[in-house]
Amino acid sequence: MRAMHISPDEALLTRIVDDLAERGWSQQDIFLPETLTRELALECRKRAAEGELAPAAVGRGPAQEIREGIRGDHIQWLEPGQAEPCDRYLQLMDSLRQTLNRGLFLGLEDFEAHFALYPPGAFYRRHVDRFRDDDKRMVSAVIYLNDASWQPEDGGQLRMFFKDGVEHDVQPIGGCLVVFLSGDMPHEVLPATRDRLSLTGWFRRRGNEPFEL
C-alpha cells in the first residue's frame, strides 16, 4: 500500500522564512506528523541495530578524524529511495527549500541530511555548521525523533548562542524542527541520559557566491 503524500503547510513554511529573515533562526515545535516522526525514529533505530550508523567525524576531506572529545554521535547519510519515510521527509524539505528560495533568494540547490544517534553521555561541543573553506551550507535544519515522554532532565538540548550573549535551549522532542543560518549560529548538543535521535541536514547553494540577507 502506498503511503499518503504529506502536503506541506504553506503558512508554516512561510513562518520559518519570516523568522530567518528577522532573526536568523526558527523553532517549530510541531513540524512533522506524529506518525512520520515515529516511522523515522524506527528507521534510525533499525539502522543502528544493523550497524549502519558510524561514528561521526569532524573536519572535511583528508582532514576528517573521529574525535569523541568534540562529538560523539553516530550517523548515516540519507539517500533517495532507501526508505519510504525518509523519502517523505526529503520531499517536505524540498518544499521548504523552494519556499526559502522564493522568500529569501538564497539560491539553494539541494539538501543533504543524516540520521544522528547520540548514545547516553555523548555530546557535540560548540561549533558552527559551515566549513571555513566551503561556503555551500547556507541553512541548517534539525528535526528531532525522540518520543513525547522526553523530559528536560533527560538532557540532550540543542544550545544556541546568540550574538547578544543570550543562550537558548531547544528540547529535543519528536516532531520539533529547528532551522538557522549555518554560518552565523554557534551551537552545541548537551549530553543526554537516553539515546537521542535526530535528522540533521543542510540546505546548500553552489558556493563561492556573494550572499546577503
Identify whether the C-beta of residue 36 lies closer than 8 Å to the C-beta of residue 83.
Answer: no
Structural domains in the chain plus CATH codes? 19-58+70-162+176-204 (2.60.120.620)
DSSP codes joined into one string, 74-130: EEEE--TTS-HHHHHHHHHHHHHHHHHHHHH-----EEEEEEEEE-TT--EEEE-SS
The stretch 116-125 carries a mean pLDDT of 96
Specify the DSSP class assigned to residue 51. T
Task: Give the per-residue pLDDT at 143.
Answer: 98
Write down the residue that cell numbers 560548540 correspond to. 126
The three cell numbers of residue 28 are: 517549530
Considering the entire predicted model, what is its pTM?
0.89
Task: Give the per-residue pLDDT at 3.
Answer: 46
Q: Any residues with CB less than 8 A from the CB of 37 and at least 6 apart, and which? A: 143, 145, 174, 175
How many of the other CB atoms lie within 10 Å of CB of 83?
17
Specify the DSSP class assigned to residue 62. G
Confidence check: pLDDT of 60 > 80: no
Task: Give the per-residue pLDDT at 211.
Answer: 47
Identify whether the C-beta of residue 60 lies closer than 8 Å to the C-beta of residue 134.
Answer: yes
The mean-pLDDT minimum among 62-66, 80-84, 164-168 falls in: 62-66
Q: What is the mean pLDDT of the chain?
A: 89
How confident is the model over 172-213, as pLDDT tens digits? 999 999 999 998 999 999 999 999 999 999 999 986 544 444
